[in-house]
Amino acid sequence: MSTTMERTTIAGDIEIPRMINGLWQLADMKVDIPNAAKAMDSLIASGLSCFDMADHYGDAELVIGKYNGRPAVDPRSITAFTKWCPQENGITTFEHAEAAVDLALSRMGQKRIALMQYHIWDYTDDTYLQNLAHLQKMADQGKLGAVGLTNTDAAHLELLLRSGYRIATNQVSCSVIDRRLVRGRLGAVCAEHGVGILAYGTLLGGYLSEKWVGAPEPTDEAALNWSLRKYLRFIRAAGGWAAFQGVLQALAAVAGKHKVSIPAVATRWVLDIPVVKAVIVGSRLTPESDKYTASNLSAFSFSLDQDDVSLISKAQEALADIPGDNGDEYRRPPFLTASGDLSHHIHGSADRIKALEEAVAQGSRIEYHTGSKWEPIAGYSRAVRVGNVIRVSGTTANPPPPLTDSMAAIGGKSARCQTTAILDIIARSVKALGGSTADIVRTRVMVRNEEDCEEVSEAHGWVFGCEKIRPSNTLVTTSPIGDAFLVEIEAVAVVGSSSRPVVIISQ
């Protein structure tokens, strides 16, 4: 069969191949930058002319800069994406964001970045709302072609879209084993709003290959490279080795029928998901980089028929759903990344933590103030802790300044999205006073329009379902102050209750 590279567009007019070279492996190796730039030539000649990297992928951006700096190189011969993954440390200025973009432009030797992708470490920190507004401004200025996200769940992607952000793509894990994109809400949100998925992990770090058919489950994780360690956790979370082997054998049968490799079938399955714009395959940019090019491109040489899809689907019935939504592996247990718990990216001020601990030890009344102009006028605190009990005031989806000048409410006119934003604000308040979302024991939800109650309840249920708790709750219809606000929520948390066993008594 002939192989013709499929192409697509993102953000309306940025044309890319449907297979992208991912340069994440350069983060873990000493890179010969001139030779790495030279290794790009064979990939580009094969139609693999798009490269994805990040600010923390070692010398990846410098390799692109070296390629672009070679004599007679047409800058249109490649498309290069990168990412900005800052620690959310309270710095929210435009100058800070612009410095990050300018550094990437300098390293990549470009005047414009086709796609800048942003990673949100902590949804309860509204830094991301402000940083994305800065990136959008730079897109309007021409420094960026488009703005995308990485590892963002359906609730927060929808929240951003309903708030007026222009999001072109979301880069997430997706494979025949990791089916969160199609079994959760993310695929539907992307389809509704025209957001393209850039899928990685399609081969599970190499497990979806002939090598592992019938092979025993690895027992010595220390002997595995970081990709195999990471995706072994995915396999275990998705039902275990036996269920994985069942899917792998189905892929092998389809591969034999079409005379292609198992990786080609696994890749084709992901490419056939309507919202998937492209898959990302890893490349070390060495002289051997084109060793697997023909095999990778074979995913474009055939089509899966209904019998193939049915065979794979039947095998997938033995799988379990990976907990949570796309990207949760970076933010909550079970942490499915190679290094496990990544909460070290989310940290508070050491001085503030020490002061809180001392105040709690002294039995003080502790008030949390956000700096809202209304707190001193009305004489209230966002939250108050006495002993182990935290009480959070009625909270709406009020955007942080200076976004109040351009945004009436986080989540726009969507009650579901406003609920998501409010519960993030409440979680931030509880965390500031030493608790966690899982410590919340009581919520009171006030909804302006009765017809919004179902989606507000679904958003509430999703948040606490991820924490594996159900707080007591009251939901009523009323009129929150401010026409833009559709929902108001208050909460009570008992610090430490999340560490206690949950006992369920049913009638």
Per-residue model confidence as pLDDT tens digits over 410-459: 999 999 999 999 999 999 999 999 999 999 999 999 999 999 999 999 99
pLDDT interval class at 228 (50, 70, 90): very high
Q: Is the pLDDT of residue 197 over 70?
A: yes
Q: Classify burial at 444, counting beta carbons within 10 Å of its beta carbon; exposed 0-12, middle 13-18, buried 19 or more.
A: middle
Residue 2: what pLDDT? 57
- Distance, CA of 36 to CA of 287 (rounded, Å): 8
- Tokens 């994985």 belong to 244
66/183 same-domain check: yes
Domain contains 320: no
Q: Is the pLDDT of residue 342 over 70?
A: no
374/462 same-domain check: yes
Residue 347: what pLDDT? 58
Residues 15-42 have a mean pLDDT of 94
E strands within 349-471? 365-368, 383-386, 389-395, 440-447
Q: Are 438 and 463 in contact (CB under 8 A)?
A: no
Residue 507: what pLDDT? 84
Model confidence, pTM? 0.95
Residues 197-220 have a mean pLDDT of 97
* CA-CA-CA-CA dihedral for 322, 324, 325, 326, to nearest 10: -60
- Tokens 């929520």 belong to 489
Residues 128-141 have a mean pLDDT of 97
Question: Computed over its alpha carbons, how large is the radius of gyration of the chain?
Answer: 24
Best CA proximity match to 325, nearest among 113, 70, 88, 151: 151
Residue 340: what pLDDT? 66
Residues 178-202 have a mean pLDDT of 98
Per-residue model confidence as pLDDT tens digits over 50-79: 999 999 999 999 999 999 998 877 767 899
Residue 375: what pLDDT? 93
Residue 422: what pLDDT? 98
Which CATH number characterizes residue 366's domain?
A: 3.30.1330.40
User: Which pair of structure tokens corresponds to residue 410?
Assistant: 């986080």
Domain contains 362: yes
- Distance, CA of 380 to CA of 365 (rounded, Å): 14
pLDDT interval class at 14 (50, 70, 90): very high
354/297 same-domain check: no
Residues 7-14 have a mean pLDDT of 95
Per-residue model confidence as pLDDT tens digits over 362-388: 999 999 999 888 899 999 999 999 999
Residue 73: what pLDDT? 77
Domain contains 505: no
Residues 106-116 have a mean pLDDT of 96
Q: Which domain holds residue 387?
A: 348-499
Residue 128: what pLDDT? 96
Residues 285-311 have a mean pLDDT of 92
Residue 348: what pLDDT? 61
283/395 same-domain check: no
432/352 same-domain check: yes
Domain contains 259: no
CA terminus-to-terminus distance, the chain = 62
Residues 168-190 have a mean pLDDT of 98
Q: What percent of the chain has pLDDT over 70?
A: 97
Residue 89: what pLDDT? 79
Which CATH number characterizes residue 113's domain?
A: 3.20.20.100
Q: Is the pLDDT of residue 27 over 60?
A: yes
494/381 same-domain check: yes
Average per-residue pLDDT for the chain: 94
Q: Using DSSP, state whether 425 is helix, strand or coil.
A: helix
27-41, 99-113, 339-353: segment of lowest average pLDDT: 339-353
360/293 same-domain check: no
Would you give the distance in Å from CA 434 to the centre of its chain? 26
DSSP state of 139: H
354/295 same-domain check: no
Q: Is the pLDDT of residue 349 over 70?
A: no
pLDDT interval class at 346 (50, 70, 90): low
Domain contains 315: no
Residues 27-33 have a mean pLDDT of 91
Q: Are 423 and 459 in contact (CB under 8 A)?
A: yes
Residues 294-304 have a mean pLDDT of 95
* Residues shown for the chain: 507
pLDDT interval class at 290 (50, 70, 90): confident
Count CB atoms within 10 A of the CB of residue 207: 23
pLDDT interval class at 17 (50, 70, 90): very high
286/413 same-domain check: no
141/85 same-domain check: yes
Q: Is the pLDDT of residue 344 over 70?
A: no
Domain contains 335: no
294/399 same-domain check: no
Residue 142: what pLDDT? 96
180/284 same-domain check: yes
Instruction: Give the chain's domain count.
Output: 2
